[in-house]
Structure 1
C-alpha cells in the first residue's frame, strides 16, 4: 500500500515491510472457528509480529518470529544485514535459527542489537550456536551473530542510520520500541512511560500495538492505542499485533482518519 506517488518517490530507498501483524497465537488461531479465522480476506491471515526496514545500506530486521522463513520467502527477501530485538518472548525470538544463512550472503556474522536480558535469552535458547565447536562450522550451519548491547538511554547507529530505542512497558516486562527518523515501531506495549514521550513527538508514521478492542493486561486495547495516537499526533498510524478480534475490512472502516490496520505484506515508505 502506497499512500501517494510523492511518498513513494520520497521513500523509495527507505521502506518498512510488515512481515507479521498478528499476536502470539497468529491468525487463524488453532482450534478456532470464528468468522475471522475462517475469512478468505488475506489481510486477516496474520503471522507473528516482525518488520523489515529496507535502508540504502541494507535490510534491518526487527525481531525473528517463528514464521520468519515463510515471511521472508513470501516477500522475496533473501537476507537481513542486521537484527534488532524488542524483547525475548517466543513470538519475537524463536525464528532466529532461520537467520543462519544470512552470514553466507553478507560475508560475516549478523550484528544483533539488543538489551542484556535478550542476549542472555538467545544464548539459553540457542546454545549450539555459541559452543566452541560452532566456530568451526561453515557459515549456514548455525546462527553466527555478533551482539551489540543497547538500552533506552542512548541512540546508536546501524546500517548508516541513527536508531533511537524507546522504553515501553509490556505488563510486568520491559521492552523496546525503535525510532528511525520520523518512523517509530512500538509493538507489545501496555504503557508508554512518561520518560519516553519526547521520543515519540513529531512522528510522521507510528506503528503501534492494539491487540484487541477489549482491555488486556499486557497490550494496548484499541481505545488505548487510539488515545496514544491522539497524544502523539503522528501524520499517520498503523495498528499491529492484532488478534482475531479484528475483521480487517469492517474494523478499518471504523477507525479515525489517518489510522489503519497493518497486515502481513504491507509496505510503508518513509
Structure 2
C-alpha cells in the first residue's frame, strides 16, 4: 500500500505527516517520535517500524513535531504544551478515520511523555512506551551534553564551551543553538515539570489506573540505533527482535487476529 505524505493543520502551523496505509487494516497506531534533532538520528529504524506494522494490517501515522523536521512553525516560539496539544489533535483525526477500530499510542523518548500524557487524558485504547524518561529535562540535558561534546571537538581548548555554561546561558534567558534548533529559557525551565503521569511508573500501576493495556520498554545496548544518536550512518542495525516482540504484544493487547509471520515481511519493511 502507498505511503501518503500530507500536512495536518494545527494552530499556527502545519504538521508534516506520513500515513502508512495497510491492506484491510484491523488497528491504527500513532507514532510520537523523538525530540528535535533526535528525530534525525532515529529516523531509519522508526520508519522501518512503521512499515513493519503496515505490512501486518496495522495502519500507522507518523509525524514531525511543530517546528521540527518538515513541519512548519518557529521552534523557539513553541512550548512543550504546544507539542502536547498536537498529539491530542492528530490522535483525534486518526481515530476519526474509523471510530470502531482500536487506536494505539506509541511514543519514543520525549514522544513517550507526550503519548503518555495524551493517554492519561483518555486518548487511545492502549499505550506503548519505548525508552520513556522521567521528565523532559532528561531528554534536553542528554542532548545538550552530546552537543557540547561534539562542539568541543572542533575548538581549541581555550575556546571550548562546557555544557554547564550553555545551561547558565539558558537560565539567563539567552537562546542557545543545539543541533540547529534554538532552545529558550522557557523550554528549559518547563522541562523539569513536564513528566510522565505518576501512574506510569510501571505497567502494573498503569493497568490499575486506566484499565487499558500499557507496555513500557527500557532500551539496552541492543537498541542503541533507536535510543542513542551518533551511531554510524552506514550502520543499519537489525531491530527485528524489537519489532517482533512488540508486535506480538500489540496483537494481544488489542485482541487482534494473528497477522502473519514476523520474518516473512521484515526484509521488505
Shorter-chain TM-score above 0.5: no
Return the structure number with greater strand share: 1
Return the structure number with greater helix share: 2
TM-score, normalising length: structure 2: 0.29
TM-score, normalising length: structure 1: 0.29
